[in-house]
Amino acid sequence: MKNIALFGICGKMGRSMLSELILEQDIKIVAGFDRINIGTDIGILTGREISGIKVTDKYEDIKAAKPDLVIDFTGPEVVYKNILWAIESKTNIIVGATGLSKEEIDIVKEKAKKIKSKVFIVPNFSIGAVMMVRLSSLAASYFDNCEIVEMHHDKKKDAPSGTAIATATAINKKKNFNALKFLSDEKETIEGSRGAFSDGIHIHSIRLPGLLAHQSVIFGSKGQTLTIKHDSIDRSSFYAGLIMAIRNIDKLPNFSYGLESLIEI
């Protein structure tokens, strides 16, 4: 039995994953952490029977619950703090929240090397999204340039998405398309028109109601384009990756990044 504390338990992702996790025979939710609905029984969040476990915003309450693992679906404003707390508390943590800077990830990686607990950062739990990133890195060597368009719901707080950044990084390891954001004769007549720029790739972020999580990686060469596209149309698409991460985290090193750590392609 693995005892889990779910951070961001009251958010859309937290509630969706909670509804699935409570059905597993080898998993027990022992604590829920959020900044809203403090004192609410977590059973109410899923429309099930009262569990006796209440939502808290205090780290002391989480520590008292003695979880084997923290799963974090909070947000960019608190996720870094949560990871550092888990490291200091010697508690394994799977991070599904995005918004961490590269500098913060580097710090977490160094701290994780010095402890016995594990940090597993997963920008996207969708197995299809992991395949998209891997296929994009394979295609990179055969094209002249690449741009990424990522589309998410209008409540997403960070841009670009963690998946888009991870995709750009993976592609850059195979080919560096652009040393500079603009060509020598190129200029923006409206600032930001060419999007963000990461690892030699332009990234364009769209936020609209009605969307969930979508990304297109568009490669171009003379006379042709290749588009590798992935769509998550329901949050249930993330559960297979999450349960894979939970059941395999003990096999991973102290720091791991991306679900591809567990998927052989």
Q: Which residues are identified as catalytic?
A: 152, 156
Packing angle of the helix pair 239-248, 12-21 (nearest 10 deg): 60
DSSP designation for 23: T
Burial class of residue 158 in the structure, from the number of CB atoms within 10 Å of its CB (0-12 exposed, 13-18 middle, 19+ buried): middle
* Calpha distance 76→14 (Å, rounded): 15
Task: Return the amino acid letter for 119.
Answer: V
73-77: which pairs have CB atoms within 8 A and are 24 or more residues apart?
Answer: 73/6, 73/7, 73/8, 73/9, 73/11, 73/13, 73/14, 73/17, 73/97, 74/7, 74/8, 74/11, 74/33, 74/34, 75/8, 75/11, 75/99, 75/157, 75/158, 76/100, 76/157, 76/158, 77/157
Whole-number Å distance between alpha carbons of 8 and 79: 10
